[in-house]
Structure 1
Amino acid sequence: MQMSKDELLRRANLASKNTLMETLDIEIIDFTDETLTARMPVTPRVHQPDGVLHGGATAALAESVGSFASHIFINTEEFFVRGLEITANHLKSVKEGYIYAKASFLHRGRTTQLLDIRVTDEADNLISICRLSTITLPKKK
């Protein structure tokens, strides 16, 4: 029996218990064969001292959604994923609401992956553009 999309999303979010994703209230909200989308609330917990979204929180959201996208497309019994490099260009400030990170693959190799992650606000304004490279490595037997 194949799981429903809602059940897969529920299980994905359960996997984030007691992690940075839970600390930042990051929630995976959608996926396709090519993309994964998550959201994070913008509250004082993720603000800089002057009251706007911290770029480090945005980068954490981007790396979380990108790494998770790489992770769900591998055999987790035999392999694990690690981030290699992330870049983030922050384009617009946000003070409140939600931001959304949508990861899509630019390259999906057996060993390395490259993802484009677009971070937008609730009005679909581009907040940050990020690139994440990941590596898939075999688990030791």
Structure 2
Amino acid sequence: MARRWFEPVDLDELNALNDRDMISRLGLVYTAIGDAHLEAEFTIDERTRQPFGLLHGGVSCAVSESMGSIAANLCVDRSRYGCVGVELNASHLSGASAGRVQARCHPLRVGRRMHVWQTDLFDAEGRQLCVSRLTVAVVTARDGPRSD
């Protein structure tokens, strides 16, 4: 697959994008950048478990949305466009209560106005925990935040 990124990006830059936001508080760290995919890891611990001791499904969704949004925004000229999530669906395939989780995000479609990104989460033994699909809209960049 051809390189998807609009500009070159490195792991330090990628991890700095999440500095001081919700995802950094969950312990997500980007570990690899391919020509058309991102990889990251986090640990199942007190930050990422639901009350019954398993990986919280909302964490899986947050990781998927964050990785897909960042990947989509890396594909466009950020001085002209931005990518915003419009739909996320996730299937939680297996539970896990401890250990490292590996996440891999790759494009299903990268169009001029819409992207679709799939994120797969696996435990350390290679069992798939979650598969999700994020649809993002490519919108014209705005100057500053909206006031309405």
**Shared fold, TM over 0.5:** yes
- 2:77 matched to which residue of 1? 75
For the 8 Å contact 1:28–1:39, the answer to whether it is kept is yes
TM-score by length of 2: 0.86
- 1:103 matched to which residue of 2? 105
1:2-23 superposed Cα distances (whole Å, 9 cap, x missing partner): xxx8x71001111211111111
CA RMSD of aligned residues (A): 1.5
1:4-43 superposed Cα distances (whole Å, 9 cap, x missing partner): x8x7100111121111111111111112122111112110
- 2:116 matched to which residue of 1? 114
Structure 2 stretches lacking a partner, 5+ long: 1-7, 144-148
Once the two structures are superposed, the pairs formed by residues 80-91 of structure 1 within 5 Å of their partners are 80-91=82-93
Q: CA deviation at 1:140?
A: 2.6
Q: CA deviation at 1:74?
A: 1.2
- 1:35 matched to which residue of 2? 37
Q: Distance in 2 between matches of 1:82 and 1:137?
A: 7
Structure 1 stretches lacking a partner, 5+ long: none
Runs ≥4 in structure 1, deviation > 2 angstroms? none
Specify the code of the residue in structure 1 equivalent to 2:20. Answer: N
Q: Distance in 2 between matches of 1:33 and 1:110?
A: 19
Specify the code of the residue in structure 1 equivalent to 2:42. Answer: M
1:33-76 superposed Cα distances (whole Å, 9 cap, x missing partner): 22111112110111111111110011111111111111111111
User: How many residue pairs were aligned?
Assistant: 136
Q: Distance in 2 between matches of 1:38 and 1:84?
A: 22
- 1:55 matched to which residue of 2? 57
1:84-134 superposed Cα distances (whole Å, 9 cap, x missing partner): 111110011111111111111111001100111111111211101101101
Q: Distance in 2 between matches of 1:90 and 1:30?
A: 24
- 1:26 matched to which residue of 2? 28
